[in-house]
Structure 1
């Protein structure tokens, strides 16, 4: 059985980033993949800021990552990089906490000007955490995720299809990677 964890690095559960999260959770559910979501914003701020490695909630989140075959890192781009809230949590993962995992970065940005944030800001940190199977991921423009009046989200068809492809690839890679 494949397990996935989604690390949600956004500072709001009401942003367009939630539309991408909903898509990933739905994909995993439809594929029979057990998945959990770590909302970094819900972890104790003091534990994140003061790097409390012994925090019960941080240890629980780290255990979810340790038990996952697929780790989806979901973040918006602010000032050409992933969020600080995400960084505070990544700093609390064990040194090789992503070793042996298939890692899928999914990034939401306001313009294509920040497209390289995945390669130049996020991937080096993931690699430093032991990830050696980092997929290309997907960069989504916030204009491609529409908020609906009922607080739901509608993804542009091309984005929905691209996310299906990269999520499917993460599943296939996790299966292949587990046999290596």
Structure 2
């Protein structure tokens, strides 16, 4: 009889421990989901090695991927953007930047830089910044014609940071050619 009581008490303790563990895990998952994704501190340097970039293509006309087709500027991976010979189709990559401070940023002027290498001798590169996500209001859009065959650094400025958002989305696109992008920087 005493043995049966001890077993029941052990089973009861085991159930209590399992229930407590489930509650702790549920709370941890809930707080993880609620926290902002990719909260960052400026300045930002991104070498395309750690994910975070999303590709955007027009099926059958353009191609974009993160990988190692040809030499990278640094590391082993970079963005490959193929929008050749179709026009006005574009190949693009984009990522969001969410600042880790809790208050909205006051209006500031920022700048972005990226290293570009062409494969076709000529390509149009466009850097677009959206307030919020990739379909948000466009706050800056600057294009450059690139004619180099090696890696060349391109700087885009001024880029205003929106006073009503802690998140922006940066998009790098290629038109009328093939380009590689690597070593993205963003600072205010």
Instruction: Using structure 2 for the length normalisation, give the TM-score.
Output: 0.29
Between 1 and 2, higher relative CO (CA 8 Å, sep ≥ 6) is seen in 2
Q: Which has the higher strand share?
A: 2
Q: Which has the higher helix share?
A: 1
Instruction: Using structure 1 for the length normalisation, give the TM-score.
Output: 0.29
